[in-house]
Amino acid sequence: MSELDCDYLKHRPYGFYETILKPVLGWLFALIFVLLFWWLYILIAVLVRVKLGSPILYTQERPGKIDCRTGKEKIFKLYKFRTMLQEGENKLSDEERLTEFGKKLRSTSLDELPEILFNILLFRDMAWIGPRPLLVKYLPFYTEQERMRHAVKPGLTGLSQVSGRNYLGWDERFALDCKYVSKITFVGDIKIVFKTIKKVIMHSDITTDGKYTIKDFDEERKNGNY
């Protein structure tokens, strides 16, 4: 990222809610959630161990908020409950490795509970609401404007997730992410929370077959599909 763009990130017109209230409330709600549902973490961990073996957790590096000292996204580990069988000697596709139990975890979004404990509460790499952290391999293919989605911490849910989730095209996703980053408000975040709860309960816009519903972003950009 150029020095000018990084300077823009430093001097965005941050408000009281975004700079102080949102991170404090986010951490507090994460603490309350873990204290209330610690038993659910243990239950799912035991089930994953019995049905899928070890390790219980799946980790993957993802890009986080841009550090203006380096002009690069901070790379952090995303934590989830594992939903797939381990790769053995016989190479299986993701679809073959995804079990019925794993599909249920994904359809209920319970596989994402470790993000609340590790990424929001303990390591503070993420927020409850913000652009979802995508794959590190996508970084070279963002435009400068699209990288603005990394001007804030990534979220457990976000505007693009409640607006179509995996069924949106990449341009639509990034446009919604940048729209969210440009104006973060308490009312807006509350709306996203309630829409997220509704989608989780209704199991809408969720794919569980181990495949993307749209082409991989890097493949689209390599082919010149901007």
Tens-digit pLDDT profile for the chain (226 aa)?
454 456 666 667 789 999 999 999 999 999 999 999 999 999 999 999 999 999 999 999 999 999 988 889 999 999 999 999 887 655 777 777 888 999 999 989 999 999 999 999 999 999 999 999 999 999 999 988 899 999 999 999 999 999 876 677 888 999 999 999 999 999 999 999 999 998 888 876 655 444 444 567 767 766 665 5
Residue ranges per structural domain of the chain: 3-222
Residue 170, pLDDT score: 87
Q: What is the distance, to the nearest Å, from the Cα of residue 32 to the centroid of all Cα atoms in its chain?
A: 20
Residue 14, pLDDT score: 82
Q: Is 73 exposed, middle or buried (0-12, 13-18, 19+ CB in 10 A)?
A: buried
Residue 222, pLDDT score: 67
Residue 200, pLDDT score: 85
Asked if 153 and 52 count as a contact pair (C-beta separation under 8 A), the reply is no
Strand 155-157 with 57-67, pairing: unpaired
Q: Longest C-alpha distance within the chain, in Å?
A: 54
| Closest by Cα among 41, 55, 24 to 121 | 24
Instruction: Write down the pTM of the prediction.
Output: 0.88
Gap between the Cα atoms of 105 and 60, Å rounded: 18
Residue 204, pLDDT score: 67
| Closest by Cα among 100, 115, 96, 107 to 47 | 100
Strand partners, 59: 79
Gap between the Cα atoms of 67 and 64, Å rounded: 9
Residue 212, pLDDT score: 45
Residue 199, pLDDT score: 86
Per-residue tokens: 94: 């993701």
Position 218, amino acid: D
Gap between the Cα atoms of 29 and 23, Å rounded: 10
Asked if 81 and 108 count as a contact pair (C-beta separation under 8 A), the reply is no
Q: Is 203 helix (H, G, I), strand (E, B) or coil?
A: coil
